[in-house]
């Protein structure tokens, strides 16, 4: 079985500042809204950043245009991160405060026992670790741990986390193949969802290819490949375009 079991309570562990105008926060909030529309109680847990003003759930709702029937609980942890914090400091603060939340949610208030079945879902190798470890301490009604893998380069930390998750979301079939080959994880534990496109991007592009090539200064005979993604040393996309084309 590759899909998640139904759960009235989902804890979404966000690695990002959800008020920043980046693709990750937008994706995370959109996912939480979709879960709420399916009847799931959602708690979004995110690291807190130092700001001159206090941020409320109403501020987040206005920022993303969240309708009243899509509202969900938002918890900003007291990490007090700064944009110029070195990576080691960010990791240390996240690990400490997410560990405290994991203990509170999974152990001290009963977690799944208090609210029925519980799913903990994340996409950060550091932030999800406490939930993985503490969930193992529950003998009954243990939470389901899900992880979204957007890339895989085969580090020891990646292998450790993925092997201990109950479900894994891979963003494409080639990524799933790479994870299975490198870790030996049962393919049935890995789900590859269809990639949806917001209707706002459905506007038809009417310019002819020949005209567009002239506009961009591209030869009519040149082979052109379009890649919608990010390539940078700090965010390695796997598979890379060259990898995909070769396969």
Residue 2's contacts (CB-CB under 8 Å, 6 or more residues apart) are 167, 188, 189, 190, 191
The region that residue 239 occupies, defined by phi over 0 for left and psi between -120 and 50 for alpha, beta otherwise, is beta
For residue 138, the 8-state DSSP code is: -
pLDDT digits (tens, 9 = 90+) for 190-205: 999 887 666 666 666 6
Q: Is residue 191 part of a domain?
A: no
For residue 225, being part of any structural domain is answered with no
Confidence (pLDDT) at 111: 45
pLDDT tens digits, one per residue of 30-83: 889 989 998 889 999 999 998 766 777 888 888 888 888 889 999 999 999 998
Q: Is 125 part of any domain? A: yes
188 in a structural domain:
no
Whether 204 is covered by a domain: the verdict is no
Domain assignment present for 231: no
Query: What average pLDDT does range 198-222 have in this prediction?
Result: 77
Domain hosting residue 54, numbered range:
9-149
Task: Classify residue 177: in a domain, yes or no.
Answer: no
Full-prediction pTM beyond 0.75? Answer: yes
Say how many domains are in the chain.
1
Residue from 150, 148, 125 nearest 239 by CA: 150
CATH, residue 94: 3.40.50
């Amino acid at each position: 079985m590759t899909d998640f079991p139904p759960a009235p309570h989902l804890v979404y562990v966000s690695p990002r500042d959800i008020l920043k105008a980046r693709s990750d926060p937008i994706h995370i909030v959109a996912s939480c809204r979709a879960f709420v529309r399916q009847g799931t109680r959602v708690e979004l847990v995110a690291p807190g950043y130092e700001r001159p003003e206090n941020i409320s759930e109403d501020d987040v709702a206005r920022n993303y245009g969240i309708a009243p029937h899509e509202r969900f609980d938002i918890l900003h942890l007291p990490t007090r991160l700064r944009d110029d914090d070195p990576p080691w400091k960010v990791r240390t603060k996240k690990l400490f405060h997410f560990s405290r939340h994991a203990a509170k949610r999974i152990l001290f208030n009963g977690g799944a026992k208090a609210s029925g079945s519980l799913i903990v879902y994340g996409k950060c190798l550091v932030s999800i670790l406490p939930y993985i470890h503490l969930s193992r301490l529950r003998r009954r009604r243990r939470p389901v741990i899900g992880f979204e893998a957007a890339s895989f380069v085969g580090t020891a930390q990646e292998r450790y986390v993925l092997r201990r998750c109950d479900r894994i979301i891979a963003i494409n079939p080639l990524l799933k193949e790479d994870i299975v080959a490198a870790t030996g994880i049962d393919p049935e534990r890995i789900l590859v969802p269809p990639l949806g496109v917001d209707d706002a991007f459905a506007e038809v592009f009417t310019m002819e290819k020949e005209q567009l090539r002239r506009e961009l200064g591209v030869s009519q005979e040149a082979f052109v490949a379009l890649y919608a993604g990010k390539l940078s040393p700090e965010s390695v996309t796997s598979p890379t375009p060259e990898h995909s084309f070769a396969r």
